[in-house]
C-alpha cells in the first residue's frame, strides 16, 4: 500500500472572495491543516470563502466535520462558505451524507464567484 499523500492547501484572494484550493486527502490529521486555514479566514470575517475541492481524492468524516464547522462559523457573521469542483468519490460521499443539500456547490471557482456576485 502506498503512503497517503499529504494535503496541500493554497489560499488566494480573488475578486473580493477567498479561494481555498485543496489537493490530496482530507483525512484525520491532514484535515487540521484545512481547519487552520479556514479558521484564519473566518477570524478575518471573510464574506465569501470558496473551497475548491477539484483535486481532493479522498475525504473522511474528519474532513467533512471541518467543512461543516467552518460553514457554521462563517454563517454566524453572515459570511458564506461554498464548495466547488467536487467529483467522483468525494461527490458521492457528499450525496450519501446529504451534505449536497447543505452546502452550495458549484462546478468551478468562477461559477461560485459569479453566483455570489449575481
pLDDT score at 5: 57
pLDDT score at 4: 53
pLDDT score at 26: 95
Nearest to 41 by CA among 84, 82, 90: 82
The CATH topology of domain 8-112 is Transcription Regulator spoIIAA (3.30.750)
Asked if residue 91 lies in contact with residue 83, where contact means CB atoms within 8 angstroms, the answer is: no
Mean pLDDT, contiguous 10-residue spans, the chain (118 residues):
72 90 94 97 96 96 98 97 97 98 97 86
pLDDT score at 3: 53
pLDDT score at 114: 92
The structure's pTM equals: 0.93
Q: Where would I find the beta strands (DSSP E) of 15-113?
A: 17-26, 48-59, 80-84, 105-106
pLDDT score at 43: 97
Amino acid at each position: 500500500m502506498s503512503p497517503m499523500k499529504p494535503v496541500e492547501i493554497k489560499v488566494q484572494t480573488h475578486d473580493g472572495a477567498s479561494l481555498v484550493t485543496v489537493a490530496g486527502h482530507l483525512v484525520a490529521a491532514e484535515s487540521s491543516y484545512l481547519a487552520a486555514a479556514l479558521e484564519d479566514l473566518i477570524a478575518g470575517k471573510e464574506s465569501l470563502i470558496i473551497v475548491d475541492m477539484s483535486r481532493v481524492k479522498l475525504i473522511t468524516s474528519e474532513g467533512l466535520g471541518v467543512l461543516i464547522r467552518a460553514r457554521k462559523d462563517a454563517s454566524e457573521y453572515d459570511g458564506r462558505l461554498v464548495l466547488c469542483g467536487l467529483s467522483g468519490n468525494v461527490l458521492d460521499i457528499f450525496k450519501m451524507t446529504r451534505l449536497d443539500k447543505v452546502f452550495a456547490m458549484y462546478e468551478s471557482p468562477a461559477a461560485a464567484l459569479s453566483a455570489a456576485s449575481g
